[in-house]
Amino acid sequence: MQRSTLVGLKVGLIALLIFIAMIGTSTNAPATEWLKEAFLGISFTFAFGLGAPEALAYVLTGVIFVAIFCAGYFVGKKASAKLDK
């Protein structure tokens, strides 16, 4: 595996963890519950705020989490590739 791919995976994971921590710290829950709180909080926003059905809200929340990871991955991979040159 190339170095830039590994850096991209690490940056993507860190971006996702920072996003979860930002949402999770706004609740009075232990750190072990932050992922669940972030997922359910965003799902609630889609369901109540936008009026989406419950199943669609869960799918959209999953898409948001994957999109944040992918964005971090591509940023990390591009930055690492530029530093390698």
Distances (CA, A) of 76 to 14, 16, 18, 63, 70: 10, 13, 15, 20, 10
- pLDDT by residue (tens digit) across 50-80? 999 999 999 999 999 999 999 999 999 999 9
pLDDT given for residue 27 in this prediction: 83
pLDDT given for residue 62 in this prediction: 97
Considering the entire predicted model, what is its pTM? 0.89
Determine whether 48 is exposed, middle or buried from the number of CB atoms within 10 Å of its CB (0-12, 13-18, 19+). Answer: exposed
- pLDDT by residue (tens digit) across 1-43? 788 899 999 999 999 999 999 998 888 889 899 999 999 999 9
Pair 46, 52: CB distance under 8 Å: yes
